[in-house]
Amino acid sequence: MSGKKFNLFSLDTLVLIVWLVATAALFISYASSYADPRSFSFVPLFGLAYPLIISANLVLFLYWLIRKRWKLVFTSLVFIIIGFPLHSRFITFSKSTSPSESANSLQVMSYNVRLFDVYNWLERGTETRDDIYTYLENNPVDVLCFQEFYYEESPGEYNTIQTIRKRTGLSNKHGRYTSGSHGKAHFGVITFSRYPIINSGHILLNSVASNHCIYTDIQKDSVIFRVYNLHIGSIQIQDDEYDLFSEKPNNLKLDKTERSKRLVGRLLSAYTKRIEQVEVILEHSKQSPYPVIICGDFNDTPISYAYNQFHKHYTDAFLTSGNGIGTTYTGKIPANRIDFIFYDTSFHATDFKIQEEILSDHRAIQSTLEIRSLNSGGE
C-alpha cells in the first residue's frame, strides 16, 4: 500500500474495519437476488438495504482514493464492479424515445393508488382523488392496471369506476376484490382496457387477503395479449412500526427494540409468502396462449430473489427504456423501486415514465410497448 502501514489506533484502521463489514454486507446483498428466502431467511434484508450498502461502499472507495491506499482502492473497485448487473437494475440510462403512436404500439400504466386516499392519509380530503383523476386524464394509456383500488357501488364520493371510464375512455374492465368487503365498498385490483376483453380470470394466492393477481386477455385488432395485474407480498406494517423511520416521539407500550423485532419478523414472513405467490403466478404465465405483460405492485426491490424469478423469463421495461434511479415507492421504508412492468419477447419497451407528483405511497409507472410479433405466446 505504497509503503504505508496501518497504525492499530489510527483512523485508517477504524475505517478498514468498517470497510470489511460494508464489503461483506455488499456481497450478501448481491446474494439476495439468488438466495431463496425460504432457505436463507435473513439474506433478503440485505437486498432491501442495498441502496444504503452500495452508498457506504462508494464513500469508502472515495476515502481510500483520497488516502492513496491503492490496493484498497483497486479491491473496492473490483468488488463494486462485480455487482454491475445488479447495480443497473437500481439505476439505468437508456436511449428511450418519445412515446410511439404507431398502430403497433401499446401504452401501459400500473398504479397503486392507495384507495384514492379514502382514509385521508395525506389530509387533503377528496383533492387527492381528483388529482389522480386529472393525472390519468393527462396521461392517456391503452391498458391501466390499478392496485389498492377502491370504489363504492352506490353513487357517492368514490364512484371511481364510472368516473375513470368517463375521463379516460377506457370502457372495458376486469377486477377482483378482497373477500369480506363491507357494505357496498370494495377494495382490490382492477384492469381497464381501451380494447375488448375476450377472457379474464384470477389466480388464487396464499394467506394474505389483500393480495391478488388477475389476468385479462385483450384483443387489439388481430393481436391478442394477456395482461397480469398483481399486488403481492404485502408486509402489513403497523403504525407504530412505521414510526421507526420517523423522528416522532413514541408513546406506545412497545419499546423501539420490540417494534424492530416485530418489523423484521413481518418482513421475513412476507419474503417467504411472496416467493410462494411468485411461483404460482410464473407457472400460470408460462402456460399463457398469448403474449404476456406482467405489471403491478411487487412489494420487493430489483435486488431480490422474487424480482430475479421474473427477470429470468421476462424483460423489465425500466431497464430497457428508463432513466435514472427509478424510485416508485414514496413511503417511509426506503424500498426504492417495487412497481414493475415486465413483458415477453413479443414486445419491446421504447419509453418509460414515472409519475412526479406524490398522490399515493406509490408513483404511477407507464411504458410504451411496441408489438414485435403476433400471438407468439409464452417466452
Confidence bin at 98 (pLDDT 50/70/90): low
Q: Report, as an integer, the average pLDDT of 107-123.
A: 96
Query: For the packed helices 70-82 and 50-67, what is the interaxial angle rounded to 10 degrees?
Result: 150
Residue-level pLDDT at 47: 94
Whose grid coordinates read 437476488? Answer: 33
Per-residue pLDDT reduced to its tens digit, 323-373: 998 899 998 776 689 999 999 999 999 999 999 999 999 999 999 999 986
Confidence bin at 245 (pLDDT 50/70/90): very low
The residues near 154 (Cβ < 8 Å, ≥ 6 apart) are 184
pLDDT of 172 over the 80 cut: yes
Per-residue pLDDT reduced to its tens digit, 180-207: 556 688 999 999 999 999 999 999 987 6
What fold does the segment set 105-371 form as a domain? Deoxyribonuclease I; Chain A (3.60.10)
What are the C-alpha distances in Å from 332 to residues 21, 34, 262, 304? 26, 26, 16, 19
Are the CB atoms for 109 and 340 separated by under 8 Å?
A: no
CB count in 10 Å sphere of residue 376: 13
SS3 content of the chain, % helix, strand, coil (to 5): 35, 25, 40
* Average pLDDT of every residue of the chain: 88
Residue-level pLDDT at 239: 43
* Rounded Cα gap, residues 258 and 253, in angstroms: 10
